[in-house]
């Protein structure tokens, strides 16, 4: 079993690597999204994994254990990764109506003109290449901006890695190859909650006995009957996450075999998590959420099962291990740009975490981290500051919930509302920074059909 190291102070990391943070010259960046992966599920998979050759690569990473997603679904979350901005600023994934319902209509795209990781790096003569399995990257939503090559031909992670391998080989044959930014987006964990039994059984059979036992124990209510469809869907999800871990290791191996790991930073993130009856009763009591089933999937709440996500960096000058520092998906863009020696837009909300991770610069333990932009229901916002978290509804503070995540990480018992004032003020300030709304995207018929296949836009016309 892996012996986990939780480094509460970043000064400990500095001691491990001798303050060597920026000695390695980083020329390239690889960014990998594991769509729909909860932090706790990836941790479960990691702890049950064999201590084999693949684990050497995986465990060489620097893992951030306290990262908040900016939204509970893909479009606004990935837009935050690419822009370093919160959804209230980039606007992708927000809706014109008072009640969001992605099954009925399209959200707003990324605001025009905002710099993204691919656009900034392409302007610096980087080759910007993406192998992506998600239709939100189709033209019209804004996530495709700045890519010199964007391959949307498949949503199978193993095939996407095949395509990336072929591209790396072709690049190595070029004498004039520029530095590169490579983006990979893996979708396998998105689907199991929609699978029927005949699709789940082969996936569940891939689980090792140890991982299956751990997974069942982690969901005692859902898996009180391990043969139930609900438990099978969770076990299928765990199996999918386990397979994605192997795909990431393969990417790291490809880079090592081509002598690129010493000059390349690799960043892994999940855009959002997934719910498995974590807050079914709470959501069913909210009559304005326009969905037919509660407690399953994502996009409908701002609880931690949808917002606490993994982020891992593989950087030749960073020490391996777990780092307890408050962070958000908005930090990924400025951190990667910092390691590449490229200036980030001064107006972004994200922070360059590189100096903290490499030099032991102490973080602000009370830095507020925001989330918003649900895909179903009235707008909600959440803020986490230290161990405290508040979720507010509709911009008015109505129905606000306060939690102490240090005592109640599963958010089952709302805390004393007397401490609500400071967090409510932060949320009001976040709300006041909203940018003007734009117009919804207008993708083509094939793009709409691809979104419907993933469970989006179920009632929208594709004529």
- What residue ranges define each of the domains in the chain, with the CATH number in brackets? 6-365 (3.40.720.10)
Confidence of residue 50 (pLDDT cuts 50, 70, 90): confident
Contact between 182 and 31 (Cβ < 8 Å): yes
The predicted structure's pLDDT at residue 20: 44
DSSP 226-278: TTSHHHHHHHHHHHHHHHHHHHHHHHHHHHHHTT-GGGEEEEEE-S---EESS
pLDDT at 49 over 60: yes
- What is the average pLDDT across 67-90? 96
Cα separations in angstroms, 361 against 5, 322, 412: 19, 16, 34
Sheet of 369-372, strand order: 369-372, 380-385, 388-393, 398-404
CB burial of residue 231 (10 Å; 0-12, 13-18, 19+): buried
Confidence of residue 321 (pLDDT cuts 50, 70, 90): very high
The predicted structure's pLDDT at residue 175: 86
pLDDT at 417 over 90: no
Alpha carbon 377 to chain centroid distance?
A: 21
Q: Which of 85-99, 116-130, 401-415, 417-431 has the highest mean pLDDT?
A: 116-130
Helix, strand, or coil here: 363?
coil
- What is the average pLDDT across 82-97? 92
DSSP 312-335: EEE-TTSPPEEE---EEGGGHHHH
Residue pLDDT, tens place only, 276-302:
999 988 887 776 677 777 788 999 999
Q: How far apart are CA 416 and CA 389, in angstroms?
A: 12
- Tell which residue, 210, 247, 190, 248, has the closest CA to residue 47: 210
Residue pLDDT, tens place only, 363-404:
788 899 999 999 988 888 999 999 999 998 765 555 789 999
Confidence of residue 431 (pLDDT cuts 50, 70, 90): confident
Residue pLDDT, tens place only, 329-349:
999 999 999 999 999 888 899
Element (H, E) at 357: helix 354-359
**Which ranges in 84-182 belong to alpha helices (H)?**
87-90, 117-123, 157-172
pLDDT at 247 over 70: yes
- Tell which residue, 276, 314, 303, has the closest CA to residue 391: 303
Give the gyration radius of the chain's Cα atoms.
21
Which residues does residue 51 pair with via DSSP β-bridges, in sequence order?
A: none
- Pairing verdict, β 28-34 and 369-372: unpaired
Dihedral of alpha carbons 262, 270, 222, 278, sign: positive
- Helices and strands per DSSP (H, E), number in the chain: 16, 18
Q: Quick one: what percent of the chain has pLDDT higher than 90?
A: 61
Q: Who's near 343: CB < 8 A, 6+ residues apart? A: 337
Place of tokens 């299956």: 212
Q: Who's near 366: CB < 8 A, 6+ residues apart? A: 385, 386
Tell which wins on pLDDT, 222 or 395.
Answer: 222
Contact between 324 and 103 (Cβ < 8 Å): no
Residue pLDDT, tens place only, 10-48:
333 343 443 444 457 899 999 999 999 999 999 999 888
Helix, strand, or coil here: 214?
helix
pLDDT at 449 over 80: no
Q: Provide, for the chain, the percentages of residues in helix, strand and coil under a 3-state DSSP scheme, each rounded to the nearest 5.
A: 35, 20, 45
- What is the average pLDDT across 126-131? 97
Q: Quick one: what percent of the chain has pLDDT higher than 70?
A: 85
Mean pLDDT of the chain: 86
**Which ranges in 30-156 belong to alpha helices (H)?**
39-48, 53-58, 74-83, 87-90, 117-123
């Amino acid at each position: 079993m892996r012996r986990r190291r939780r480094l509460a102070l970043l000064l400990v990391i500095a001691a491990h690597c001798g303050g060597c943070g920026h000695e390695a010259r980083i020329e390239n960046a690889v960014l990998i999204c594991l769509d729909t992966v909860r932090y706790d599920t990836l941790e479960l998979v990691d702890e049950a994994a064999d201590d084999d050759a693949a684990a050497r690569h995986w465990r060489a990473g620097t893992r951030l254990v306290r990262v908040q997603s900016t939204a509970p679904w893909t479009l606004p979350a990935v837009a935050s990764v690419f822009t370093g901005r919160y959804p209230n600023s980039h606007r992708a994934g927000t809706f014109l109506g008072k009640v969001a319902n992605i099954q009925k209509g399209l959200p707003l795209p990324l605001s025009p003109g905002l710099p993204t990781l691919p656009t900034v790096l392409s302007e610096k003569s980087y080759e910007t290449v993406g192998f992506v399995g998600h239709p939100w990257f189709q033209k019209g939503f804004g996530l495709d901006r700045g890519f010199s090559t964007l391959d949307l031909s498949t949503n199978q992670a193993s095939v996407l890695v095949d395509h990336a391998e072929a591209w790396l080989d072709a690049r190595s044959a070029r004498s004039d190859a520029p530095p590169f930014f490579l983006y990979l987006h893996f979708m396998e964990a998105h689907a199991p909650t929609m699978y029927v039994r005949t699709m789940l059984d082969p996936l569940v059979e891939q689980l090792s006995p140890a991982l299956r036992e751990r997974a069942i124990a982690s969901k005692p209510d859902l898996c009180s009957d391990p043969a139930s469809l609900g438990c099978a869907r969770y076990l299928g999800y765990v199996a999918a996450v386990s397979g994605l871990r192997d795909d990431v290791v393969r990417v790291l191996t490809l880079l090592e075999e081509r002598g690129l790991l010493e000059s390349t930073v690799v960043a892994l993130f999940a855009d959002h998590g997934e719910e498995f009856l974590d807050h079914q009763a709470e959501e069913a009591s909210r009559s304005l959420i326009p969905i037919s089933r509660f407690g399953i999937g994502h996009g409908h709440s701002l609880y931690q099962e949808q917002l606490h996500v993994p982020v891992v960096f593989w950087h030749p000058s960073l020490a391996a291990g777990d780092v307890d520092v408050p962070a958000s998906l908005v930090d990924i863009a400025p951190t990667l740009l910092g390691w590449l020696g490229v200036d980030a837009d001064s107006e972004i909300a994200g922070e360059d975490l590189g100096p903290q991770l490499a030099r032991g610069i102490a973080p602000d333990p009370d830095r507020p981290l925001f989330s918003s932009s649900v895909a179903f229901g009235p707008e909600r916002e959440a803020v986490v500051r230290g161990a405290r978290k508040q979720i507010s509804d509709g911009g008015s503070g109505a129905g606000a919930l306060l939690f102490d995540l240090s005592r109640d990480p599963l958010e089952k018992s709302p805390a004393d509302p007397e401490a609500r004032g400071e967090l409510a003020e932060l949320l009001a300030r976040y709300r006041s920074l909203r940018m003007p709304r734009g117009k919804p995207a207008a993708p083509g018929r094939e793009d709409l059909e691809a979104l419907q296949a993933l469970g989006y836009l179920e009632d929208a016309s594709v004529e």
